[in-house]
Structure 1
Amino acid sequence: MSRHISSLLAITAVCVTLTPTSALAAQAPKKEVDCSQVKCVALTFDDGPGKYAGKLLDTLKKYDAKATFFLEGQYVKSRPSYVKRMVAEGHELGNHSYTHPDFRKVEKWDVRAEIKKTQEAVKKAAGVEPKLLRPPYGMVDLQVSDVATEFGMPIILWTGGNEDWSSKNATAIKKKSMEVAKPGSIVLMHDWVKQTVDSMPSIVKSLKRKGYHLVTVSEVLKGQDVKLEPGDVYPVPAGWENK
């Protein structure tokens, strides 16, 4: 056997020996954040995927932050690549209807159809179905709760919002976002508001400097030991406590 062939075989043997270990190291699962021990906040984005979702995902990836996206089926259909990327990068998906009607003002079968069409659109785009429901405008009644129960989905509202849809002002959006971000909070935002997406690097860095971990809604709930059944609403709207 020539010296050249012997050398090649030796190199090959070393590579075969080292590759599995290197591959395993690269694929090692990231340690889960324990939100019962550290400060966590869940940033949530409604009405998307909006046309700025790609830039938002770039920011979240850069700063190793996770979010929950409550998606409208009509935009899932027109921007499926963003939905696929959300899943691939570890974000959580929620159902936010197909065309954004007030669920309290339509018939029960219409509520059911809106949810079902969005479930199907997300499944087609990304191969998964949302496990959480956020009704349009956050408007919920017993009928909405009943339909959510049919789909096996709890209803997630929010503890505070940055009012980006109203102000569309980057400075005001960041200020409000920081005001409503508390340990265990669920913050409402919108990825169709350009000023929100433009402000996200600054918001994320500021939250991290304050010691916050940016996680999904499900991680926040787990950290607070909140166990929701299908049809349950969280946070509970005023006046619902005894229903």
Structure 2
Amino acid sequence: MLLATSCALAMISVPTTAWSADQPKTTATAAGKAKPAPKATPTPTPKPVPVDCAKVKCIALTFDDGPGKYADKLLDTFKKYKSKATFFLEGQYVKSRPAFAKRMVTEGHDIGNHSYSHPHLRELSEDKIREELTKTQDIVKKSTGKYPTTIRPPYGELDGRVSAIAAEMGMPIVLWNGGSRDWATKNEKAIYDEVLKNAKREGIILMHDWVEQTVTVMPKLLTALQKQGYHMVAVSSLRGAKDTKAGDVYPVGSEKDEDLPSESPTGDPDDFAQSPSDGL
């Protein structure tokens, strides 16, 4: 859905009077001839240790409708706090911001399929549902080298046809069990309070990377969650997600939550979505 060198090495890396940029790059031999100075052996960077959510308290922050125009700043924050997220991408925005989508994959975040143009899937024919999903699969693979591995239907709306097509495509459906209402309030304090109110172990929080206030409050929010003992991980790292099969819904039973729609924009996509070309 994650290291620091020793103090001694850090000190050596800083130029000093004795070790400056003007220091000769050769050393003298006994015969008075110069030979190249030995090259420093690079210190290998240790790989991050995976978070074991069976042993620690984990929560998954998820972002819909991206990559948004603030996604690079959001990724900077997650990198600084050594945290992971899950991004449910719209094909139209991956097309206009492929570098952001590629960075999400490169930096170890999960990516999911959020359709191409954010329609109400239940209002579409089966062929149109497939087209929305497969078009996004293809453009994400072209942009990042990796296919999305999960589906989050727009507005959290699904029916038997959507589930069957997800199973056909070999992908679980990921919803959420807590929100931020960032799209509605666009207020940093309100977003912060709402997320902390809904935070729980193994929770999946819905947010949006096109909401500027969400991105701005993220350092404060990650700090607060870490102080409460949370590890921010990608959905795939949560204990229950590992056993979810293609076409199944995770978290289990979330599709029956009557409050689910209130956490996601429910009107015309043009009311909240960005123009695919904005911010470029």
1:76-130 Cα distance to aligned partner (Å, 9 max, x none)? 0000010011111111100000000111110001010000110111111111000
Give the SS at the match of 1:132.
Answer: coil
Which residue identity is paired with 2:35?
A: L
State the partner residue of 1:39: 57
| 1:178 aligned to which of 189, 196, 210 | 196
- Unaligned runs of at least 5 residues, structure 2: 1-27, 258-280
State the partner residue of 1:103: 121
Provide closer, same or farther for how the CA distance between residues 3 and 185 of structure 1 changes in structure 2, counting only shifts above 3 A. same
- Unaligned runs of at least 5 residues, structure 1: none
| Higher RCO (C-alpha 8 Å, min separation 6) | 1
Provide closer, same or farther for how the CA distance between residues 60 and 225 of structure 1 changes in structure 2, counting only shifts above 3 A. closer
| 2:48 aligned to which of 30, 46, 69 | 30
Provide closer, same or farther for how the CA distance between residues 6 and 224 of structure 1 changes in structure 2, counting only shifts above 3 A. farther
State the partner residue of 1:58: 76
| 1:49 aligned to which of 67, 71, 89 | 67
State the partner residue of 1:87: 105
Provide closer, same or farther for how the CA distance between residues 205 and 149 of structure 1 changes in structure 2, counting only shifts above 3 A. same
| 1:3 aligned to which of 25, 30, 34 | 30
State the partner residue of 1:67: 85
CA RMSD of aligned residues (A): 1.8
Offset at 1:238?
2.0
Offset at 1:4?
6.8
Q: Answer whether contact 1:138 1:157 (CA < 8 A) is retained.
A: yes
4+ residue runs over 6 A deviation: 4-7
Structure showing greater Rg = 2
User: Does 1:233 pair with 2:249?
Assistant: yes
Which residue identity is paired with 2:171?
A: M
Offset at 1:150?
1.3
Provide closer, same or farther for how the CA distance between residues 4 and 180 of structure 1 changes in structure 2, counting only shifts above 3 A. farther
1:50 and 1:168 map into 2 onto residues whose CA distance is 15
State the partner residue of 1:119: 137
Offset at 1:190?
0.3
Where do residues 192-207 of structure 1 align in structure 2 (5 Å cutoff)? 192-207=210-225
State the partner residue of 1:216: 234
Give the SS at the match of 1:189.
Answer: strand
Q: Answer whether contact 2:60 2:86 (CA < 8 A) is retained.
A: yes
Q: Using structure 2 for the length normalisation, give the TM-score.
A: 0.77
Give the SS at the match of 1:77.
Answer: helix
2:248 and 2:72 map into 1 onto residues whose CA distance is 32
State the partner residue of 1:155: 173
Give the SS at the match of 1:3.
Answer: coil
Q: Answer whether contact 1:159 1:186 (CA < 8 A) is retained.
A: yes
Offset at 1:224?
3.8
State the partner residue of 1:138: 156
- Larger % of helix: which? 1
Offset at 1:234?
1.1
